[in-house]
């Protein structure tokens, strides 16, 4: 069942989103060559505790960590690991879900570790652009297929990448994963019609090679590309409103000005300052 959120409920989700976006802003000072991926997990846990938030992924279907830290050919759901050190040129995707005062928000961001190659920089740019192209289709009256078709055409037809099919966006609130599923591929004009008050994630995972994923990792969680190509992901939680899509996990107030929910900017500033303070320890 798809739940339509009230203004108050979206206010609460935006507050949770500002906490989550603050974490990502703090990570910009941490993700660098020479740190273990476990440091990302430690920072996230300390930051969430400081903010009075809950790392909602811990315990979800047996998952043990606050973050997913997926590197290079890992598409998603990689574990943070003490024995894995980030190297110059790596591409790391950091995904987490936060619960804050009972509301949920979900966001993944990709980080270049040091200096990445031009090919990986382009992959990152195209993936991020595809996220925003999808968001621009998330308007009242459109259908879910309009989001997916736009992302697939841009990433596969125009740039020759692989648009992952195995993992999709989803509704969010009042729990972590809700209907509807939000594919990043498909046919325009197909699927569920979008309505005011829906809250969803859009989270394209784009590969340098095939779209196919290997989901048989021994840990039962990590998905990798079938051909060893590298993968990139960006994700926002957003609300569909009569005033257009509103991003509830924005990290860039200037670039996202037309998508901002009222009051979000002040909340983000507070959490970003806390994240930067905590990041200094790492």
- Is 61 annotated in a binding site? The answer is no
- Is 236 annotated in a binding site? The answer is no
Helix (H) / strand (E) element for 275: namely helix 264-279
146 strand-pairing partners: none
Query: CA-CA distance, 162 to 22, in Å (whole number)?
Result: 30
Q: Strand runs (DSSP E) across 25-161, as ranges? A: 54-55, 68-71, 74-76, 91-100, 103-112
By C-alpha distance, which of 98, 97, 100, 96 is closest to 11?
A: 100
Calculate the alpha carbon distances from 211 to 162, 186, 260, 280 in Å: 4, 14, 32, 38
Query: CA-CA distance, 71 to 113, in Å (whole number)?
Result: 10
Q: In 10 A of CB 196, how many CB atoms?
A: 14
DSSP structure class, residue 89 = T
Residues of the binding site: 77, 95, 106, 170, 177, 203, 235
- Known binding positions for a divalent metal cation: 95, 106, 170, 203, 235
| Sequence ranges of the binding site for substrate | 77, 177
């Amino acid at each position: 069942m798809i739940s339509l959120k009230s203004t108050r409920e979206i206010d609460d989700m935006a507050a949770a989103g500002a906490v989550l976006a603050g974490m990502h802003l703090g990570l910009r000072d941490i993700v660098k060559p020479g740190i273990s991926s476990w440091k990302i997990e430690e920072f996230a846990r300390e930051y969430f505790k400081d903010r009075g938030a809950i790392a909602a992924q811990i315990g979800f279907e047996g998952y043990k960590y606050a973050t997913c830290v997926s590197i290079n050919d890992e598409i998603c759901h990689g574990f943070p690991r003490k024995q894995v050190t980030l190297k110059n040129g790596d591409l790391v995707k950091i995904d987490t879900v936060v619960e804050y005062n009972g509301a949920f928000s979900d966001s993944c961001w990709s980080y270049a570790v040091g200096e990445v190659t031009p090919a990986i920089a382009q992959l990152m740019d195209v993936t991020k652009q595809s996220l925003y192209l999808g968001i621009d289709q998330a308007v009242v009256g459109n259908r879910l297929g309009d989001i997916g078709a736009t992302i697939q055409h841009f990433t596969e037809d125009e740039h020759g990448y692989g648009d992952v099919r195995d993992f999709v966006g989803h509704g969010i609130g009042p729990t972590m994963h809700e209907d509807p599923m939000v594919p990043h591929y498909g046919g325009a004009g197909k699927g569920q019609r979008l309505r005011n008050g829906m809250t969803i994630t859009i989270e394209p995972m784009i590969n340098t090679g095939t779209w196919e994923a290997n989901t048989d990792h021994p840990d039962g969680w990590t998905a990798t590309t079938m051909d060893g190509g590298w993968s990139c992901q960006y994700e926002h939680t957003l609300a569909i409103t009569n005033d257009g899509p509103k991003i509830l996990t924005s990290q860039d107030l200037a670039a996202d000005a037309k998508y901002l929910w009222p009051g979000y900017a002040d909340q983000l500033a507070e959490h970003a300052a806390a994240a930067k303070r905590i990041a200094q320890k790492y």
